[in-house]
Amino acid sequence: MQEQGLAPYSWSNGPGDTYAVHSHSYDKVLYCLRGSIRFVLPDTPGPEGIIDLEPGDCMILPAGTRHSAFVGPQGVTCLEAQRTPARRPVESGQDQPER
C-alpha cells in the first residue's frame, strides 16, 4: 500500500460486529489480515453485491458506494487506506455559464 502512495492503518473488530449501511467520500482500499468480514452493497443486485474477505483478500470500494459490513465468527483485522477519487479535467467551455 505504501508503494502506491497510500498511508495504511490497521483496525480490528470482534466476532459478530456489524456496520449499518453507509458510504465514504473516498475510495476505501482494504486488505484482510486475519479473520473474515462480509460487505453487502445494497445497490448491487445478486451475488455481485456480496463481498466476502478472508486473510490475503483485497477490496477497493469506490467513493460513494453504499455498503454494510458483518464481521465473521473469529473477528477481523484489516489494513485500510483512503484514496482520493480521481477527478476528470475540465475541458475548455465546460461548466461555463451560457450567454
In a domain, 91, yes or no: no
Domain membership of residue 73 as a residue range: 2-83
CATH of the domain at 59: 2.60.120.10
Q: What is the widest separation between alpha-carbon atoms in the chain?
A: 63
Digit-coded pLDDT (tens) for 38-68: 999 999 999 999 999 999 999 999 999 999 9
What mean pLDDT, rounded, does the chain reach?
86
Res 90 pLDDT > 70: no
| Those residues with Cβ within 8 angstroms of residue 17's Cβ, 6 or more apart along the chain or in another chain | 70, 71, 75
pLDDT of the residue at 5: 63
Question: Is residue 14, in this structure, part of any structural domain at all?
Answer: yes
Instruction: Quickly state the pLDDT bin for 96 (edges 50, 70, 90).
Output: very low
* Per-residue confidence (pLDDT) for residue 93, from 0 to 100: 47
Number of domains the chain is built from: 1
Closest CA to 27 of 50, 57, 4: 4
Q: Are 11 and 76 in contact (CB under 8 A)?
A: no
Quick one: pLDDT at residue 88? 46
